[in-house]
């Protein structure tokens, strides 16, 4: 069985690279649904449908452990997948998200004020607020949607992205932690760290998810022993053009990325 990583576009390549750097021996399949990005502007019904299709596809690729790297898909679809879909469709497969590990990291230093910057859909779901308050009920939380950032990143326009970063960062000057609640945002983390006071911890998922995955596998030996270790990596997308190839190479270096015409 392989480790699958799913994202709404190419941003999840950053997290996948972190996984491969930390645990290169495992076999990975990355799937980016570039045909339908950005998920953050879609309806909840669309997001759920696209995510189910993606999970079905990764299962067909022999993935026994799937990480939904997309924060939007995690916020809208993960609970349904874990409680309803997976138990009936593929009960031996495990599907994990990125929200819980991220909120745990955000309050690790006894934070009293935590900011969340994410897509419109993730902010609408209030999943970060809900999970943060479960861990610390008196936490002050501010959620802000930043719909311009993902298109700027996917279009490789980092000058534009930096301008938006400067605007959004002003909302979090006096916070203890700022969660970058989108898998694309690690590419902007240094911009945030440059403009925010050093007292604000910028929580970037590429820096924490590999450690969280390694810890999960250490605690779940019954899953770990089923995962193949051939140092094989496959990168797939639902739509591919020259621009996406350039963006993927910017994120991951010189990789072969393949277009898949159908999910299942």
Distance CA 118, CA 146 (A): 6
In our burial notation (b when 16+ CB lie closer than 10 A, e otherwise), range 180-219 reads bbbbbbbbbbebbbebbeeebbbbbbbbbbbebbeebbee
- Annotated active-site residue in 20, 182, 237, 257: 182
User: Pick the catalytic residue: 70, 81, 117, 180?
Assistant: 70
Annotation says 70 is catalytic? yes
- The full DSSP string for the chain is -EEEEEESSSTHHHHHHHHHHH-TTS-EEEEE-GGG--GGGS-HHHHHHHHHHHHHHHHHTTEEEEEE--HHHHHHHHHHIIIIIHHHH-TT-EEE-SHHHHHHHHTTT--SEEEEEE-HHHHHHTHHHHHHHHH-TT-EEEEEE-TTHHHHHHTT-HHHHHHHHHHHHGGGTT-SEEEEESTTGGGGHHHHHHHS-TTSEEE-GGGTHHHHHHHHHHH-HHHHTTS--S--EEEEESS--HHHHHHHHHHHSS--EEE-S---
CB 9 within 8 A of CB 154: yes
Q: 226 an active-site residue?
A: no
Active site amino acids: 70, 182
């Amino acid at each position: 069985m392989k480790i699958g990583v799913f994202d709404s576009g190419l941003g999840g390549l950053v997290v996948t690279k972190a996984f491969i750097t930390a645990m290169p021996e495992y076999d990975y399949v990355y799937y980016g649904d570039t045909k339908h990005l950005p998920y953050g502007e879609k309806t909840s019904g669309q997001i759920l449908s696209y995510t189910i299709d993606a999970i079905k596809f990764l299962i067909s690729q022999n993935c026994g452990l799937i990480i939904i790297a997309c924060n939007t898909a995690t916020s809208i679809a993960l609970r349904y997948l874990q409680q309803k879909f997976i138990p009936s469709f593929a009960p031996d497969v495990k599907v994990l998200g990125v929200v819980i590990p991220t909120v745990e990291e955000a309050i690790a230093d006894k934070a009293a004020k935590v900011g969340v910057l994410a897509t419109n859909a993730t902010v609408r779901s209030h999943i970060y607020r809900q999970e943060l308050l479960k861990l610390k009920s008196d936490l002050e939380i501010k959620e802000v949607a930043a719909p311009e950032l993902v298109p700027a990143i996917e279009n490789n326009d980092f000058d534009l992205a930096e301008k938006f970063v400067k605007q959004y960062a002003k909302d979090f000057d006096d916070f203890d932690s700022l969660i970058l609640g989108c898998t694309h945002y690690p590419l902007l983390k240094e911009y945030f760290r440059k403009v925010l006071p050093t007292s604000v911890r910028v929580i970037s998922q590429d820096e924490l998810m590999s450690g969280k995955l390694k810890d999960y596998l250490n605690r779940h030996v019954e899953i770990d022993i089923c995962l193949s270790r051939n140092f094989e990596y496959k990168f797939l997308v639902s739509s591919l053009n020259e621009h996406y190839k350039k963006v993927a190479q910017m994120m991951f270096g010189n990789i072969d990325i393949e277009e898949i015409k159908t999910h299942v």
